[in-house]
Amino acid sequence: MCVIFFCADSNPQLGGYKLILASNRDEFFARATQSAAKWANADHVYGGIDLEPGREGGTWLAIGHSAGFFKVGALLNLTGEPKPRDAVAHKNILQPHNHNSNKPTTSNNNSHLNLNTNLNPNLNANPNPNPNPSKGQSNNEHFLLGRGMIVADFVTQADEEHSIRNYNQRLLKDCTKYSAFNFVSIEIGSPSLPARVELLSNVPPTLEEFRNGGCYGFGNSLPHTPFEKVRHGQQEFEAIVREHGGASVETLSSQLMQLLRNKHRFWPDAELKRRAPNWGEGLSALNVHIADHAYGSRTHTVILVDSQNRMHFIEETMAGLDPQGEWSRTHIEKDFPGYV
């Protein structure tokens, strides 16, 4: 479970922002993760990195800059969806990218558990289970491609093949190799051209475009059936952008962090109850905490890019396994050249 709100405008008013983004990462607290940093093997990219065995090098959210273009990618799970019916098993396809070699912020215990299965086992049951997984294909999630590499590959590459249009068209043809996801992609370049914003979902395979300057919010359902927390969160995000969209980084980021920390449960929620009948209420807050399973909103992220191409990547993330305990804060500030 994750949530993201953003506004992308390639030509904002003076004092405004090309990108205003706020996102929560919901994950098991024990999942091995590296905090936000410049990537060692792609020094134009900033973000956290997944260190889960078999998924190393992937990410849920990152921003890159090259040749005057900002590229942002975000990966959202689609809750309660079975694995694609025609998914292809890939035993040896996962190759760690190791974009950064820093140590993880948390240890990795049983963090490979499938949250979708825990939320609604019936949706993920294999109607023809293989009694001998060592022979033939199994329904194990790790036989599918790691979704975090979708984001990593998009933001690290700057060639035409990896432009937002070409990358998503190619991904759309190949998206059944992954468990269910929403992929948010943003490309901001010349002030004379509108920012490009696209959302690709693979259950069913769809690709939608969104306009420059709009305020959007996406979560773990399809965009036209948002969870109540996403709907309410987007309204609040829009209000923050209207009131503080020309304010200082400190003021704007503070308002956005307050939004991400909101623990109010937007319940009942018909779509969330349908997708997660047993856990829906616990997942209905923007800031999730399910103590019994050590799961919740373990990372809050704000990314701002001002009209002069100065980026602020601000992350608050759990330093341990207790959301009531210590949190670490990272603030990366970087000036980038303008569009050439």
* 29 domain residue, yes or no: yes
* 228 domain residue, yes or no: yes
Q: How many separate domains does the chain show? A: 1
pLDDT digits (tens, 9 = 90+) for 298-327: 999 999 999 999 999 999 999 999 999 999
* 215 domain residue, yes or no: yes
Alpha carbon dihedral 95, 112, 287, 151, in 10-degree steps, equals: 10
* 240 domain residue, yes or no: yes
Structural domain of residue 227, as residue ranges?
2-335
CATH number at residue 7: 3.60.60.10
Long-range contacts of residues 254-260, Cβ cutoff 8 Å, at least 24 apart: 256/20, 256/22, 256/302, 257/22, 257/300, 257/302, 257/314, 257/316, 259/5, 259/22, 259/233, 259/286, 260/22, 260/23, 260/24, 260/286, 260/287, 260/297, 260/300, 260/302
* 136 domain residue, yes or no: yes
* 340 domain residue, yes or no: no
Per-residue confidence in pLDDT tens, the chain, 340 aa: 699 999 999 999 989 999 999 999 999 999 999 999 999 989 999 999 999 988 888 999 999 999 899 999 999 999 998 765 554 433 322 233 344 444 444 433 333 333 443 333 222 323 232 333 333 333 444 457 789 999 999 999 999 999 999 999 999 999 989 999 999 999 999 999 999 999 999 999 999 999 999 999 999 999 999 999 999 999 999 999 999 999 999 999 999 999 999 999 999 999 999 999 999 999 999 999 999 999 999 999 999 999 999 999 999 999 999 999 999 999 999 999 987 5
Task: Report pLDDT for 146.
Answer: 82
Task: Report pLDDT for 165.
Answer: 97
* 99 domain residue, yes or no: yes
Alpha-carbon gap, residue 37 to 229, rounded angstroms: 29
